Amino acid sequence: MNQQQNLEYINKMWDDSIIPALQKYIQIPNKSPHFDHDWKKNGYMDQAVELIANWCHDNAIPGMKLDVVQLENRTPVIFMELPGDSDETILLYGHLDKQPEMAGWDPDLHPWKPVLRGDKLYGRGAADDGYAAFASLTAIKSLHEQNIKRARCVILIEACEESGSYDLPFYIDALKERIGSPSLVICLDSGCGNYDQLWMTTSLRGLAGGVLTIEVLKQGIHSGSGSGIAPSCFRILRQLLNRIENELTGDIILTDLHTNIPEQRIQQAKQAASVLDKSVYDDLPFVDYVQPESTSISELILRRTWKPALSVIGIDGMPSIENAGNVTLPKLSVKLSMRLPPSCDAEAANKKLHDTLVSNPPHDAKITFTSGDTGSGWNAPELEMWLSESASKASQRYFGKDAVYMGEGGSIPFMGMLGKKFPKAQFVITGVLGPASNAHGPNEFLHIPMGKKLTACVAEIIADHFNR
């Protein structure tokens, strides 16, 4: 492959076509079904599907088949088949549904307003994960331009990822014959530690959690009558959380939620720590003088990728401060989100959480725990030599630095499903979600040079897969 030609072609595609398309895509508020229960009626998802499917159609290579597949009462998927020069299959995956708006955007930015500023395209969903469809097809197109041989490719773009991909298993079933048995999976929905090299995701955490509700009174009462007699739901909440988390360190106490960390992953965390150094926490928007949970960088990386961690992400039953009178509260609900180690069984973890929280209720309070999104994580199978060499070469060619291997703290439910279904497949899980890109939060941006170089690397790896 002529690397210069590859990069020039890809850069031009991004500048002339992908960025304008992403600017239109950002304007569509196609929130994932969890965040827009009326998604079907509102029609935004269909708009996003149409935009991406039309772009892919206009940029099709000869022989390519594109279908928008929609099973009844399910979110749609875009499915593309691109015949190749061997019987082997490469599956490229991405998603087009988005996280909700979230507060805190800068005054001149907005989730549904594309703002191009320097190297960055701001707006919801371009980096997570709208660009994936465009980049996947462009990488294959670049190979086509140079007449480079490759395996048959299928591109699958779903619309339910931010809701836990609950529709996807039905499509994997429905499209079984057409997907085939991929020997390589490429997923462009992950993160990168910096924008200076290729980052290969070696693991993803799983997710457990749900809504914990504590009820003590039939209604709220004057705290002059209630406090001192009626137990405080907030104090009971503190007790219950202390059963699962050490309140001083943030360590999760439940041993069932921990797994052994493989030695290779510990070594890779040390290498990643030497590349990233303090940026592991400096890149987070800490308030002045706030300290991270450990002073060791590699320990912070392991805490984020191989250890369970609890976030309390929502609360009901507590008035806003503006409306807070002196009242003994009757009932409190919190939503718990527990990230799990890659090889931890999420169903078992959720059962453990449930049993721990509802057993022996303090003061015999009425306590319920309703499980929410649950999904096991993923740990990459051992990397084959050709792929490790290919990633290294691609990173050197397009970034001038070696590839780095690191786990991610987030989840991509589909990877767990694929790992189980195709245990022999190799995985390239990478992405543009680097420092400050802030997917799911305010001021999300896509780092355009990263997107371009990553696309070039994907083309390189697809070519190497054929020649291995």
Min dist CB 171 to Zn ion, Å, is 17
The footprint of Zn ion on residues 47-76 (CB under 5 A) is none
Which residues, 6 or more positions from 74, have their beta carbon under 8 angstroms from its beta carbon? 160, 167, 170, 171
Min dist CB 412 to Zn ion, Å, is 7
Stretch that binds Zn ion, among 98-106, 125-133, 171-179, 343-351 (CB under 5 A): 125-133
CA dihedral 463, 133, 101, 332 (to 10 degrees): -70
* Residue 36 or 189 having the CB closest to Zn ion: 189
Stretch that binds Zn ion, among 102-110, 185-193, 229-237, 246-254 (CB under 5 A): 185-193
Closest CA to 426 of 89, 136, 83: 89
Out of 88, 97, 128, 345, which residue is the one contacting Zn ion (CB under 5 A)?
Answer: 128
Min dist CB 355 to Zn ion, Å, is 32
Min dist CB 402 to Zn ion, Å, is 26
Stretch that binds Zn ion, among 5-13, 34-42, 122-130, 357-365 (CB under 5 A): 122-130
The footprint of Zn ion on residues 215-274 (CB under 5 A) is none
Stretch that binds Zn ion, among 17-25, 141-149, 189-197, 259-267 (CB under 5 A): 189-197
* Residue 88 or 128 having the CB closest to Zn ion: 128
* Residue 231 or 451 having the CB closest to Zn ion: 451
* Residue 129 or 373 having the CB closest to Zn ion: 129
* Residue 394 or 412 having the CB closest to Zn ion: 412
SS (H, E, C) the chain: CCHHHHHHHHHHHHHHHHHHHHHHHHCCCCECHHHCCCHHHHCHHHHHHHHHHHHHHHCCCCCCEEEEECCCCCCCEEEEEECCCCCCEEEEEEECCECCCCCCCCCCCECCECEEECCEEECCCHHHHHHHHHHHHHHHHHHHHCCCCCCEEEEEEECCHHHCCCCHHHHHHHCHHHHCCCCEEEECCCECCCCCCCEEEEEECEEEEEEEEEECCCCCEEHHHHECCECCHHHHHHHHHHHHECCCCCCECCHHHCCCCCHHHHHHHHHHHHHHCCHHHHCCCCCCCCCCCCCCHHHHHHHHHCCCEEEEEEEECCCCHHHCCCEECCEEEEEEEEEECCCCCHHHHHHHHHHHHHCCCHHHCEEEEEECCCECCEECCCCCHHHHHHHHHHHHHHHCCCCEEEEECCCCHHHHHHHHHCCCCEEEECCCECCCCCCCCCCCEEEHHHHHHHHHHHHHHHHHHHHC
Min dist CB 141 to Zn ion, Å, is 23
Q: Is the link from the previous residue into 129 a cis peptide, with omega within 30 of 0? A: yes
* Residue 129 or 408 having the CB closest to Zn ion: 129
* Residue 128 or 408 having the CB closest to Zn ion: 128
The count of residues interacting with Zn ion (CB under 5 A) is: 3
Min dist CB 455 to Zn ion, Å, is 17
Tell me the per-residue interface mask from 131 to 170 with Zn ion, x by CB under 5 A, - otherwise.
Answer: ----------------------------------------
Min dist CB 410 to Zn ion, Å, is 8
* Residue 205 or 397 having the CB closest to Zn ion: 205
Residue 236 · residue 363 · CB < 8 Å: yes
Exposure class string for 144-175: b at 16+ Cβ within 10 A, else e: bbeebebbbbbbbbbbbbbbbbbbbeebbeeb
Residue 323 · residue 225 · CB < 8 Å: no
Stretch that binds Zn ion, among 24-32, 54-62, 124-132, 380-388 (CB under 5 A): 124-132
CA distance 330 to 318: 9
Stretch that binds Zn ion, among 121-129, 315-323, 334-342, 393-401 (CB under 5 A): 121-129
* Residue 128 or 158 having the CB closest to Zn ion: 128
Out of 36, 81, 97, 129, which residue is the one contacting Zn ion (CB under 5 A)?
Answer: 129
Q: Does 444 bind Zn ion (CB under 5 A)?
A: no
Min dist CB 95 to Zn ion, Å, is 6
Min dist CB 282 to Zn ion, Å, is 24
Out of 97, 158, 167, 189, which residue is the one contacting Zn ion (CB under 5 A)?
Answer: 189
* Residue 7 or 127 having the CB closest to Zn ion: 127
* Residue 164 or 226 having the CB closest to Zn ion: 164
User: Beta 65-69 vs 115-117: how paired, if at all?
Assistant: unpaired
Stretch that binds Zn ion, among 97-105, 120-128, 248-256, 356-364 (CB under 5 A): 120-128
Min dist CB 89 to Zn ion, Å, is 23
Min dist CB 128 to Zn ion, Å, is 4
Min dist CB 129 to Zn ion, Å, is 4
* Residue 202 or 298 having the CB closest to Zn ion: 202
Residues that bind Zn ion (CB under 5 A): 128-129, 189
